Each structure stands twice: as structure tokens, then as C-alpha cells.
């Protein structure tokens, strides 16, 4: 393929738009840490304001995603299939929705996390945020990956990064199990509503990690296609 044709394909690459949209998703996920910290401090005013920011980022990421969908070329000259881009975009939107649901649960329920469970919840969330941070690093390599035509050193590097992401997500699942076991040990001392909300929080955080892994695996499929 002549260089000028390849440059034209890269110029039309949707990866920059995907990366920009994912940057908003990543910002929303990062805000979950101060949401939880404020909840542990029982600073509900800060929880409410930060949750609103998470919600706004989620809504903006959805707006950007819709704009990408509406303007994505339907052309044989797309560097990768249009359906694959839309699938990846949908997975990223689901990730933002997970972040919004976590913040909303903490805010609306003014969730009081027992002191004996706080370390497990905090570590569980930090590991989930780390999974998404790994994914952000991978997204930053997409244009270079396209330039290399999904081969060579860049492809190997991204594959290694995806493997690391999968390992971190596995560690996140272990943190989920530890938090769940701790919660079950407290079930006789907690109101039923608190038990349900805390279990839901643990599962939502685990879902955040799992969704980030799904996005990473979707990228891996793109490389293999």
C-alpha cells in the first residue's frame, strides 16, 4: 500500500475519537475514589457534589459516543470495520454507566460502611480503578498500533498490556471475594437494607473491573481480526 494511501487511512482513524471519549470515562472512574473517601468521612455534601460530576461526565461521554455514531463513515475504506468500532464504543459507554451507578448508590443511600469493612471496600475499589487505568494506557497506543498494521513491536506491546490488565482484573475479583466474605460475617449485626446496599456496592465495583476487561478483550479481538 502506498504511503500516502496509508496516511489517509490513519487520518480517518476513529481511534482518536474513541480515546477522547474514553478519557471522559476514565475521569468519571477516577472520581469514585474521592466519592468513597468522602463517604467514609461522612462528608455527604462532598459525596453529592462529586457524584454529580461523575454523572455529568457519564452524560458527556454518552453525548460524544452518539456524535461518533452519527458521523462514523460507512465506508469500505475504514481502517477497521465500522461494526467493531460501534461495539467497542458501546462497551466503553457501559463502563461509564458502571461508574455512575457506583457513585449514585453511595450518594442516594448515604451508605454507612462499617469500620470493619472499610479497608476491604477501599482496596476493592482501588484495584478496579487500576484496571481502568491500565485500559487507558492501552487506548493511548491505538494509533501507533494502527500505523504498524496491528503487527510487530507495537502489537506485542499492546498484547502484553492486555495480559497485564487481565491479571489485575483477576486480582480485583479476589478483592471482591474478600469483601463479600467479610460482609457475610457481619450479616447478623447489620440491618437488611444496609446488607443489601453493601453487597450491591461490592458487585458494582466488581462489574466495573469486569467491564474494563471486556473492553480490553474487544481490543484484542480487533488485533486478531
Spatial neighbors of 82 by CB under 8 A, at least 6 apart, are: 72, 73, 74, 75
- Angle at CA 211, nearest 5°, toward 210 and 215? 120
Range of lowest pLDDT (23-37, 81-95, 198-212): 81-95
Residue 126 above 80 pLDDT? yes
pLDDT of residue 176: 94
Percentage of residues of the chain with pLDDT beyond 70 = 89
Is pTM beyond 0.85 here? yes
Is the model more confident about 144 or about 40?
40
What domain range is 7 assigned to?
A: 3-224
Which of the four pLDDT bands, split at 50, 70 and 90, describes residue 112?
Answer: confident
Q: Which residue has the cell 479497608?
A: 119
Cβ neighbours of 211 (radius 10 Å): 24
**What number of H helices and E strands is found in the chain?**
9, 0
**How many domains does the chain fold into?**
1
CATH number at residue 147: 1.20.58.220
CA dist., res. 182 & res. 187, Å (int): 9
pLDDT of residue 9: 42
Residue 73 above 80 pLDDT? no
Spatial CA neighbour of 106 closest among 194, 25, 187, 206: 194
Average pLDDT, the chain: 86
What is the mean pLDDT of the segment spanning 137-155? 77
CA dist., res. 137 & res. 161, Å (int): 8
Residue 75 above 90 pLDDT? no
What is the mean pLDDT of the segment spanning 128-150? 84
Residue 110 above 80 pLDDT? yes
Q: Which residue has the cell 458502571?
A: 98
pLDDT of residue 6: 39
- The packing angle between helices 115-139 and 152-184, to 10°, is 170
Q: pLDDT tens for residues 1-20?
A: 444 443 444 445 667 788 88
Amino acid at each position: 500500500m502506498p504511503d500516502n494511501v496509508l496516511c489517509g487511512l490513519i487520518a480517518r482513524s476513529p481511534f482518536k475519537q474513541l480515546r477522547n471519549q474514553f478519557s471522559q470515562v476514565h475521569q468519571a472512574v477516577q472520581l469514585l475514589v474521592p466519592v468513597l473517601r468522602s463517604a467514609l468521612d461522612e462528608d455527604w455534601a462532598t459525596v453529592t457534589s462529586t457524584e454529580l460530576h461523575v454523572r455529568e461526565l457519564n452524560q458527556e461521554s454518552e453525548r460524544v459516543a452518539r456524535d461518533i455514531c452519527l458521523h462514523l463513515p460507512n465506508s469500505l475504506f475504514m481502517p477497521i470495520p465500522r461494526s467493531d468500532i460501534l461495539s467497542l464504543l458501546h462497551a466503553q459507554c457501559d463502563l461509564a454507566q458502571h461508574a455512575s451507578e457506583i457513585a449514585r448508590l453511595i450518594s442516594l443511600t448515604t451508605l454507612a460502611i462499617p469500620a470493619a469493612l472499610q479497608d476491604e471496600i477501599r482496596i476493592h475499589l482501588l484495584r478496579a480503578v487500576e484496571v481502568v487505568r491500565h485500559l487507558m494506557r492501552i487506548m493511548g497506543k491505538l494509533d501507533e498500533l494502527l500505523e504498524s498494521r496491528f503487527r510487530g513491536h507495537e502489537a506485542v506491546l499492546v498484547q502484553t498490556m492486555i495480559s497485564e490488565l487481565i491479571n489485575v482484573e483477576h486480582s480485583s475479583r479476589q478483592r471482591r471475594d474478600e469483601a463479600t466474605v467479610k460482609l457475610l460475617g457481619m450479616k447478623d449485626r447489620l440491618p437488611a437494607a444496609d446488607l443489601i446496599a453493601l453487597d450491591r456496592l461490592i458487585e458494582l465495583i466488581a462489574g466495573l473491573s469486569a467491564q474494563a476487561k471486556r473492553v480490553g478483550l474487544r481490543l484484542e479481538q480487533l488485533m486478531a481480526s
